[in-house]
């Protein structure tokens, strides 16, 4: 299945805005704790408008980013791919450069950054871990665990995404490729119903019992993208209902935001009428909202894919977003701990107890961090494009004297986190 110019452009448009959304998600917390205190304002003390916008953006609009990134990752892995052992090994080798090497380099670099910060007495309180441990005291296993996050997240926490993506490439992709090729049409349909039905039920009920992969997003959305590619189905196949999906999803964000903490008990009484649903799940904060929120995520994904068709009608906007998308992987990789540092500085130096200061900080700090990272990416690319290519898995233009839109649009890159 050939990816034509329009389809390629639409994929490129799904790089910059979603990664900006991820940065906003990671700026959600209004309080930052450190070893000797905290800065910021508790969510209970924020005004309604600030809380509404903060939740609407980070727990609503931006929450389709991770599904989109996993969906595209699965799609690009198997698009135009005919299963063979040699072909699969070639794919693995390519992902070693584009995923595994950047994963190691960024995690090790951040570990050294914490080691340095913790060795400076004036800065150490802001970079010590809540557990009281320090990087310099790590055992060999703790260093390895800090890189890979065997018990949840790596030290550089947002790299759970690359870790889980690598697991999908290694173990899930070959199984899906084999099933899509050898299963009969009837068996394949039964597989789709059982697999995605079971995954959906586990997803909305927060029943995923494993720490690796971190949650259901990786398996569900990577599998969906991979199977679409294997069956030669375009990810834009549902454009016919895209406008309706986009409107429905945007409308759903309002009750999703207003009742973010809603449990089943809040609406249907204190006790579960169904013995299958435990009292713990029934009364759990967000239990009802989780079902509502995650049920509308697929609608949002369809709407988000369709939105690229609308953006393409505006040439200047298309060119700008395509150009900025060239730095999307770098923004993903480098936005922490920078974002945390900028947020902490803002919480310390702005009068956070004034009514709308926290709203101003929430809106401005993430986009300012993205601006810093775009400048950093540009400077690094000009002075040392080879080292930048190493840290970004080859997602960097070749050495040049003039920056162009084409230069800024390397191979698709993926990032994000979905904790909801």
In order, the DSSP letters of 262-296 are: --HHHHH-SS-SSTTS-HHHHHSTTHHHHHHHHHH
Q: Count CB atoms within 10 A of the CB of residue 254.
A: 12
How does the average pLDDT of the chain come out, rounded?
88
CA distance 29 to 39: 11
**pLDDT for the residue numbered 408:** 30
- According to the model, what pLDDT value does residue 267 have? 72
- Which tokens hold the place of 240? 């016919």
Res. 396: pLDDT tops 80: no
Spell out the residues 6+ positions from residue 143 whose beta carbon is closer than 8 angstroms to its own: 111
Contacts of 131 (CB under 8 A, 6+ apart): none
Dihedral pair phi/psi, residue 31, rounded to 5°: -130, 135
- Whether residue 111 has pLDDT greater than 50: yes
Q: Is the pLDDT of residue 352 over 90?
A: yes
Q: What is the pLDDT of residue 411?
A: 37
Neighbours of 181 (CB within 10 A): 12
Radius of gyration of the chain (CA): 22
- In this prediction, residues 211-226 reach a mean pLDDT of 89
Which residues lie across from 37 on neighbouring strands?
34
* Listed range (183-192, 253-262, 403-412) with the worst mean pLDDT: 403-412
What DSSP line would sit under 198-240, residue for residue?
HHHHHHHTT----SSS-SHHHHHHHHHHHHHHHTT--TTGGGG
The pLDDT tens digits for 298-340 are: 999 999 999 999 999 999 999 999 999 999 999 999 999 999 9
Q: Residue 3: its pLDDT value, please?
A: 83
Whether 295 has a pLDDT exceeding 70, the answer reads: yes
**Strand 37-40 to 31-34 pairing:** antiparallel
- Is it the case that residue 385 has pLDDT exceeding 70? yes
Is the CB of residue 64 less than 8 Å from the CB of residue 304?
yes
Question: Rounded CA gap, 119 and 153, in Å?
Answer: 23
Write the CA distances from 59 to 48, 134, 171, 373, 417, integer angstroms: 16, 32, 30, 23, 11
pLDDT attached to residue 395: 85
Percent residues over pLDDT 90 in the chain:
75
Distance CA 13, CA 21 (A): 14
Q: What is the pTM of this model?
A: 0.91
pLDDT tens-digit series, residues 353-382: 999 999 999 999 999 999 999 999 999 999
Query: Hey, is 351 helix, strand or coil?
Result: coil
The pLDDT of residue 262:
81
- Pairwise CA distance, residues 159 & 333, whole Å: 8
Query: What distance in Å separates the CA atoms of residue 27 and residue 369, rounded to the nearest whole number?
Result: 10
């Amino acid at each position: 299945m050939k990816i034509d110019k329009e389809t390629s452009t639409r994929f490129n448009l799904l790089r910059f805005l979603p990664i900006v959304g991820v940065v906003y998600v990671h700026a959600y917390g209004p309080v930052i704790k450190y070893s000797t205190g905290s800065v910021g304002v508790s969510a209970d003390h924020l005004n309604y408008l600030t809380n509404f916008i903060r939740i609407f953006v980070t727990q609503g609009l931006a929450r389709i980013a991770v599904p989109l990134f996993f969906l595209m990752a699965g799609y690009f892995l198997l698009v135009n791919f005919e299963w063979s052992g040699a072909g699969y090994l070639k794919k693995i080798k390519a992902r070693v450069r584009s995923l595994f090497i950047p994963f190691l380099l960024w995690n090790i670099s951040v570990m050294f950054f914490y080691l340095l910060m913790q060795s400076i007495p004036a800065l150490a309180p802001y970079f010590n871990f809540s557990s009281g441990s320090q990087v310099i005291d790590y055992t060999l296993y703790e260093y390895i665990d800090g890189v890979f996050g065997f018990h949840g997240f790596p030290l550089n926490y947002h790299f759970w995404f690359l870790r889980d993506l690598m697991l999908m490439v290694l173990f899930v992709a070959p199984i899906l490729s084999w099933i899509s090729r050898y299963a009969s049409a009837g068996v394949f349909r039964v597989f789709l119903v059982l697999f995605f039905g079971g995954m959906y039920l586990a997803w909305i009920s927060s029943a995923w019992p494993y720490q690796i992969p971190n949650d259901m997003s990786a398996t569900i959305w990577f599998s969906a993208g991979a199977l679409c590619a294997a069956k030669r189905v375009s990810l834009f196949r549902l454009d016919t209902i895209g406008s309706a999906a986009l409107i429905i999803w945007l409308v759903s964000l309002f009750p999703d935001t207003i009742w973010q903490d809603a449990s089943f008990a809040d609406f249907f009484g204190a006790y579960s009428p169904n013995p299958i649903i435990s009292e713990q799940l029934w009364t759990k904060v967000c239990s009802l909202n989780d079902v509502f929120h995650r049920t509308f995520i697929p609608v949002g994904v369809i709407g988000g894919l369709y939105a690229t068709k609308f953006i393409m009608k505006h040439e200047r906007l298309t060119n700008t977003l395509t150009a900025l998308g060239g730095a999307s992987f770098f923004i993903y990789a480098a936005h922490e701990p920078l974002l945390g540092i900028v947020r902490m500085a803002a919480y310390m130096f702005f009068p956070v107890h004034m009514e709308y200061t926290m709203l101003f900080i929430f809106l401005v700090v993430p986009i300012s961090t993205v601006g810093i990272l775009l400048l950093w990416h540009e400077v690094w690319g000009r002075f040392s494009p080879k080292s930048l290519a190493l840290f970004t898995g080859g997602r960097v233009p070749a050495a040049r004297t003039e920056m162009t839109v084409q230069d800024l649009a390397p191979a698709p890159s993926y990032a994000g986190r979905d904790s909801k």
